[in-house]
Chains A and B, each alone.
Chain A
Amino acid sequence: MPQDRMESAGNTQTNSPDTYRAPDFETTLSRAASVTQKVRVVHGANEQYFDNLEGKTVGSIKKSLREVFNIPGDASALIEGKEVQDDFVLEGGMNLEFVKEAGVKGHDLSFKQQVALALLQNLEWLPKFDDMEAAADYVSESLPEDTRGAIALQQKVMGVLVAETAEQIVNIVGE
């Protein structure tokens, strides 16, 4: 059975021909002007224009919209397509987008970073390399060096590879 059609103007999904009136030119311009001063915030399917975000930081917006917009903690923030840090202060009319790649296995990190993580979490893997040096080479060549996180991860993995005792490994991984 079809769901009842919602009748109130705000909830109808279509404008019926006999009730729809096109806005006049002045109204359209005025609305456009107010929209241009709003901050557009987007994360994936979630999108909204806000008129009270001027002067606030990206980090504070991310925190306050985290649940409403389903923003992952490690999502990057882009202003007009360029990555910004959490302390970036917003101005009216800006486009703030939170992004995270969709549809890649181990999407939180690149594939190669994931291999490194797997190394950290499954030390029984290590013997599958011909030797420790080959494993170290593999990891060091595989990890991107363009982010602090990747470098830290690399150092951790390298630490594990050169560790000689289980205790050392636990100390490095647990850092």
Chain B
Amino acid sequence: MKQTRKIKVIGSGGIGCHLLEPLCRYLSFTEDFCEVTVIDGDVYEERNRERQRFEDCGNKADETVRALKETFPKIHLRSKPEYVTEDNIITTIRENDVVFLCVDNHATRKLVSDRCEELDDVLLISGGNNYTDGDVLVYLRKNGKDMTPPLTKLPEIANHKDKNPGELSDVERQGCQQEAVNNPQLLFMNLDIASSMLNCYYAYEQGRLNFKRVYSDILTQARRVER
């Protein structure tokens, strides 16, 4: 029986842009009706080309969706060229969504996790990484119950010190750009986390999602699961 899959991908930067292509390819070959929404208020810039996949500079959500639509016409792709904020979170994440959270700040992670906590059935898969290691957090709610803990169980997310990019001043936004220069990321690590997030989704589909966190380290080739 055909099902409807509603997937939200928040952030189409270092991790998100690599996650979307294989996700859409996988969904294209299912029988289900698939709706994928890409949400990002940021823009691709030339300096992003080192790690990120895009053709033209412009809003990340718009550009990514435009390219994916050509390759995957079967999938209903939509773009929301805005950051997720208090103002739009309720309309962005709804019941029965699968949310891939590919952002680089705890403020958005908290906002999204809190929203998922209000819903009865939702799957949130959040990825983040340092230069050569990173992790994926999984928050699953079924029938109004937490099957795994919300992201806000982590103190650094619950008591985040950073700001939502949608609420940054110009000076702070420049600060973020400077941070990206000061703290470069590695393409291979972004790919690893994107892949790990998709693996979590597959485990969920197979009814085998029995873990809350997956760590990976590409230098030591170690992977560890927390249940």
Contacts and interface: CB of A to CB of B under 8 A. Distances in A.
A103 B104 contact: yes
B6 to A, nearest CB: 24
A105 B183 contact: yes
B220 interface: yes
Contacts of B172: 111, 115
A93 B166 CA distance: 46
Report which residue of A72, A103, A129 has the largest number of chain B beta carbons within 10 angstroms of its beta carbon.
A103
A104 B182 contact: no
Report which residue of A45, A46, A107, A122 has the largest number of chain B beta carbons within 10 angstroms of its beta carbon.
A45
A85 interface: no
A104 B223 contact: no
A105 B161 contact: no
B171 A105 contact: no
A100 B106 CA distance: 14
Contacts of A102: 128-130, 133-135
Contacts of A121: 178, 182
Interface in A39-72: 42, 44-47, 68-70, 72
B220 A46 contact: yes
Contacts of B1: none
B180 interface: yes
Say whether chain B's binding surface is mostly helix, strand, loop, or mixed: mixed
A156 interface: no
A133 B160 CA distance: 27
Given A104-B104, A110-B162, A122 B178 contact: yes
A70 B223 CA distance: 13
A157 to B, nearest CB: 13
B156 interface: yes
B47 to A, nearest CB: 14
Interface string B154-172: 0010000111000000111
Interface in B54-109: 103-106
B134 A46 contact: no
Interface in A108-142: 108, 110-112, 114-115, 117-118, 121-122, 125, 128-129, 138
Contact of A104 (B105, B170, B215, B219): B105
Contacts, number: 106
Q: How large is the interface on B (under 10, 10 to 19, 20 to 34, 35 or more residues)?
A: 35 or more
B178 A70 contact: no
A138 B163 CA distance: 15
Interface in B119-137: 127-130, 132-135
A44 B219 CA distance: 12
Say whether chain A's binding surface is mostly helix, strand, loop, or mixed: loop
Given A45-B133, A45-B223, A46-B220, A103 B179 contact: no
A103 B133 contact: no
B71 to A, nearest CB: 28
B219 to A, nearest CB: 5
A111 B134 contact: no
Interface of B: 103-106, 127-130, 132-135, 156, 161-163, 170-172, 174-176, 178-180, 182-183, 215-217, 219-220, 222-224
28 contacts: A42-B224, A45-B215, A45-B217, A45-B223, A46-B217, A70-B132, A70-B133, A102-B130, A102-B133, A103-B104, A103-B127, A103-B128, A104-B128, A105-B180, A105-B183, A106-B179, A110-B162, A111-B163, A111-B172, A111-B179, A114-B175, A114-B182, A115-B171, A115-B175, A118-B175, A121-B178, A122-B178, A125-B171
Interface of A: 42, 44-47, 68-70, 72, 100-108, 110-112, 114-115, 117-118, 121-122, 125, 128-129, 138, 144
